[in-house]
Structure 1
Amino acid sequence: MITQLKKIFPSLIILTDIDQNLDSNFEWYLHDTNELIGIHKSELTSKDKGLLATFLEPYTHTFPLPTQKEKLWENRITNHSNMQLDANITYRFVYFSISNNQIDPISFKEALNELFAMDITILWENQQEGIIIEEQKKHAEEDISYEKIIDILMSDLYVKINFLVGPFREDLHLVKEHYENLLRSAKMSFSYTDKNVLSYVEVIPYILIDQIEASYKKEISKTILKDFATDQELLQTIEVFLESNLNISVAAKKLYMHRNSLQYRLDKFYEATGIDVRDFHQALTVYLALLANN
């Protein structure tokens, strides 16, 4: 095929290694042998480009050249092909999103490769978001800390990033649905929180509240929070208390507040609403009301 294309497009060149400074005068295509094929734009019509795209994958050189493992996972997810997984391996999907124009995909992957000390697997949705596929042996003792990764990326590269860490899975059953659900959940969940790292457990309340009609969200907020729905200072105090596992000492430290002052605010909310956020079940209701109020 390459020989025939060369006769039609004399400018055709083949690259076996990715180059971040690919000649912009060429259109680039990815061959199934993991080689890059370049054809000078002057030799291509719109019809030629459409025809080439039917059997070659147009390549945007801002993305890293996909590895064999990334191609394998792409096939597993989109085509349900090669559905075998090593019996001793588990995997999880980790969604990430990068602020627009802060770092290009090639540089981002290089930075992650250094942090992971290995060539990681990434499936890109676009230049700002994608899914990291993390594989490890079953019963491995140490998990990767995405909080630490974020600290390094933000301090060294000044990159703002979000992660949603999915659960470890042992098989590929409904892997496409799992992949799509994680993407959908992540995009929605980060609209409810300022956290940079979320676990799949933490997003369940966001998913539930997001499926409620807007009018019912307003009713929940009004019924539970009453006149405090617009009291941002008190709501932040309650939110920090809930996120501190109902621990007054921990919450007071985070809020730079004396324990008695925090206790006073919680009592104030209880006296006005009859709801005690120090009780787990009532706290859960207030937490959902806070989400509905956002």
Structure 2
Amino acid sequence: MLQQLKKHFPSLQSYKKTPTEIDDKLTWFIAENGQIISIDPSEITEKDSALLHIFLKPYQHNFPPMTKAEKLWQQYIQADGELPIIENMFRLIFFQIPPDQLQPADFKDALNQLFEKEMIILWESETEGVIVDKELTDYEEDISLEEIIDILMSDLYIKIRFFVSPYLTELRQAKHYYNQLTSQASIVFSYSEHNVISYIEAIPYLLIDQLTPKLRDDLQQLIPQEFQHDKGFLKMMEVFLKSNLNVSVAAKKLYMHRNSFQYRIEKFKEKTGLDIRNFHHALTVYLALLVK
């Protein structure tokens, strides 16, 4: 359809992602598949307009105007050449909010109020984008992302998710991690229910997604069905790995008695031959449960 429209409207442009800056001099439409289209109104007759409105819907965006800093960072993540040296570290935070529940401008206002400064947001769509989070100065208070997302969800009454890059020291890294976060977020969010997921924590999910069907099946066969469907056991494995395979620490975090934790480990070992107190066994079991 677009090719046919292009023949009739030479100025027609289509966009793979939602443009964050709209030229008000153009006429904008959105197709059923979500693709955004712009056409020079001088090419549209009254009859053309009536026909276009049958197949397309008028489009109006709700993005706040881009700040000077946001335009600069947009250039950084698109650049292929030399970039300036920066003094402070930064990280990129991909976010996702539910559709039709919050306007982009309102979300940005909430962030600005929470951080008490103008935040840099690069929008991918009206529900997704990337926050550029610069390293705090000695005079700024450090608030964890978990606290931030809890406050936002409480104030805005919506579900919000973050996928967070490591702290970066060079601008040339921005483009790589920006592309990684935006392309892999849907995969990561499909494996984890956490609201905040770091890139390091996400690596097992990304590895699982790359496995061949045969290897995925082989991994699943290692774990009996009773454990595959046990969400409590998956949580226990996750906490155990994050506790450096320390039974006492993991049991404390899960509010379990150490003996109860040991009992579950021994029961699992009896049925599978896998001892999750061994790192390689633990990692294999965790990956197998993620496959499920």
Q: TM-score range by the shorter chain?
A: 0.7 to 0.9
Aligned to 1:95: 94
Q: Deviations over 1:3-55 (max 9, x none)?
A: xxxxxxxxxxxxxxxxxxxxxxxxxx756xxxxx57899xxxx8524889xxx
Distance (whole Å) between structure 2 residues aligned to residue 30 and residue 128 of structure 1 = 17
Give the gaps of 5 or more residues in structure 1: 1-28, 32-36, 53-57
Relative distance call for 1:123 and 1:81 in structure 2 (3 A) is farther
Flag the 1:249–1:141 CA change in 2: closer, same or farther, 3 A: farther
Structure 1 vs Structure 2 CA RMSD: 3.3
Equivalence map 1:257-272=2 (5 Å): 257-272=256-271
Q: Distance in 2 between matches of 1:49 and 1:85?
A: 43
Aligned to 1:239: 237
What is the deviation of 1:141?
9.1
Pairs within 5 Å for 1:8-19: none
The normalised TM-score by structure 1 is: 0.73
Name structure 2 gaps, 5 residues minimum.
1-20, 29-37, 45-57
After superposition, what is the alpha-carbon deviation per residue over 1:109-148, rounded to whole angstroms, capped at 9, x for unaligned? 0000011110000001111111001123789996541101
Q: Which moves more between the two structures, 118-127 or 164-173?
A: 164-173
Q: How does 1:185-200 map to 2 (within 5 A)?
A: 185-200=184-199
Shift of 1:174: 5.0
What is aligned with 1:7?
none
- The code of the aligned residue for 2:263 comes to Y
- In structure 2, the CA distance between the partners of 1:50 and 1:60, relative to structure 1 (3 Å rule), is farther
1:62 maps to: 62
CA distance in 2, matches of 1:98, 1:195: 14
Distance across 1 between alignment mates of 2:255 and 2:77: 47
Q: For the residues of structure 1 that align with 2:26 and 2:39, how far apart are their CA atoms?
A: 14
Given the superposition, is the C-alpha separation of residues 47 and 99 from structure 1 closer, same or farther in structure 2, using an over 3 Å criterion? Answer: closer
The more displaced of 248-257 and 274-283 is 248-257
Call closer, same or farther: CA 1:177–1:256 in 2, change over 3 Å: closer
Shift of 1:177: 2.7
Matching of residue 75 in structure 1 with residue 75 in structure 2: yes
Shift of the 274–62 alpha-carbon distance from structure 1 to 2, 3 Å rule, reads same
In structure 1, the residue matched to 2:288 is: 289
Residues 238, 266 of structure 1: 8 Å contact kept: no
Q: Do structure 1's residue 48 and structure 2's residue 46 form an aligned pair?
A: no
Q: Is the 8 A contact 2:98 2:159 kept in 1?
A: yes
In the alignment, is the contact (CA less than 8 A) between 2:27 and 2:39 conserved in 1? no
Identity of aligned residues (%): 44
Q: In the aligned structure 1, how far is the partner of 2:171 from the partner of 2:69? A: 15
Aligned position for 1:222: 221
TM-score (norm 2): 0.73
Report the CA distance between 1:235 and its aligned residue: 3.1
SS of the residue 1:239 aligns to: helix
Q: CA deviation at 1:168?
A: 1.7
Query: Structure 1 residues 93, 60: CA separation in 2 closer, same or farther (over 3 Å shift)?
Result: farther
**Does the CA-based 8 Å contact 1:228-1:234 persist in structure 2?**
no
Aligned to 2:15: none
Residue 210 of structure 1: how far off its partner (Å): 0.9
Are 1:180 and 2:179 an aligned pair? yes
After TM superposition, give the deviation of residue 211 of structure 1 in Å: 0.5
Contact preservation (8 Å) 1:92, 1:133: yes
Letter in 1 for 2:224: K
Q: 1:138 to 1:47 in 2, by over 3 A?
A: closer
CA offsets, 1:238-270, max 9 Å, x none?
435425513445544565544333322211101
Question: Secondary structure of the equivalent of 2:200?
Answer: coil
Hey, what does 2:5 align to over in structure 1?
A: none
Aligned residue-pair number = 250
How far the C-alpha of 1:82 sits from its partner, in A, is 7.6
How far did 1:227 drift?
4.3
Q: Distance in 2 between matches of 1:178 and 1:81?
A: 16
- 1:109 aligns with 108
